[in-house]
Amino acid sequence: MARLFSILLILCFAFPYSGLAKIVDETEIDEKVREIAKTLRCTVCQTENIWESGAPLAHQMRDAVRERVIQGQSAEEIREYFHSRYGDYIMMEPPKHGMNWLIWLAPFILLLGGGILLWREVKRWVTRSPKPEAKVSPPLDEKSQRRIQQELNL
């Protein structure tokens, strides 16, 4: 009898709580998965990572990442696993070795090199250009000077 009563009591308290909204949130695992997934390329899409992609293979790769995160593997280990299976292609950017240095350094070399060349060329033009003759003219008053400066800037 007492048992029945206590069961009923528990039910009275439990029942209202089953209707309360549950606040869900991402777990630390979710965040880790996202972080790693964003660095792996979806192999059947064009430059999308497996986090963004809706392809089934991407979904399965995300699951594979999740499993490994749960097992406790580090981001580097997981990336290395995928790299061993799919090669450089699975990385979202060319790994910095060998011929790939070309593409990583080219923009800076082009900018620097181009800048230097341009600088030298402009300098050559400046030294070569005829200098405007120095003309002696009466100094202008403040207002006119300001006005002229303005017009010159436009």
Q: Which is nearer to another protein, 9 or 103 (CB)?
A: 103
Residues whose CB is less than 8 angstroms from the CB of residue 54 and which lie 6 or more positions away in sequence, other chains included: none
Q: Which is nearer to another protein, 6 or 89 (CB)?
A: 89
For the bound state, the minimum distance from the C-beta of residue 3 to another protein, rounded and expressed in Å, comes to 32
Residues 92 and 41 sit within 8 Å (Cβ to Cβ): yes
Told to check if 87 binds another protein by CB under 8 A, we report: yes
For the bound state, the minimum distance from the C-beta of residue 72 to another protein, rounded and expressed in Å, comes to 17
Residues whose CB is less than 8 angstroms from the CB of residue 90 and which lie 6 or more positions away in sequence, other chains included: 40, 41, 43, 82, 83
Residues 32 and 41 sit within 8 Å (Cβ to Cβ): no
Site pattern 12..51 for another protein (x: CB under 8 A): -------x-xxxxxx---x---x----x-x-xxxxxxx--
In 3-state terms, what secondary structure has residue 40?
Answer: strand
Question: Binding residue for another protein (CB under 8 A) from 73, 75, 79, 94?
Answer: 94
For the bound state, the minimum distance from the C-beta of residue 9 to another protein, rounded and expressed in Å, comes to 26
DSSP annotation of 99 reads G
